[in-house]
Homo-oligomer: A and B are copies of this chain.
Amino acid sequence: MNIDPGSHVPIYLQIADAVRAAVAAGVYQPGEPLPSLRAMAVEVHVNPNTVQRAYDELQQAGLVGSQRGRGVFVADRGASVARLAAELGVRRGLEEAVRAAQLAGMDPPQIRDLFGAVLERMTHEGRQSS
């Protein structure tokens, strides 16, 4: 759960993305509770309101449900929703990258090589920094 306060992407979205990834990865199982607002706020050194907004985001996406006075829980379909959303996000990122490369005049072979190189480097020994 690494948050970068200096990033251009809003903190609440960073939190939401991180939780979404965690649910997709099975860290939080359907039916399990997410950390409380306060706990999460302390963990990422952030205002509880910001965590609230992140949880709202997830709830709106149908990934979690909140129960008054008890907390927020991963929805039954939460895992699949998270996985779909994650794949969609990755796909969009890739499409953006390809489009940027094309606009800059890179040839398809160049683009393929670049993709291959990045994949090679990041998945070969699978040191996926959390």
Contacts and interface: CB of A to CB of B under 8 A. Distances in A.
A122 interface: yes
A122 B98 contact: yes
B99 A128 contact: yes
Interface residues on A, range: 35 or more
A42 interface: no
State the number of copies, please: 4
Nearest to A23: B104
Nearest to A5: B67
Given A6-B65, A10-B68, A108-B123, A114 B100 contact: no
A115 B114 contact: no
Contact of A90 (B60, B100, B129): B100
Nearest to A87: B114
Interface of A: 5-6, 10, 17-18, 20-22, 24-26, 60, 65-68, 70, 82-83, 86-87, 89-91, 93-106, 108, 111-112, 114-115, 118-119, 122-123, 126, 128-130
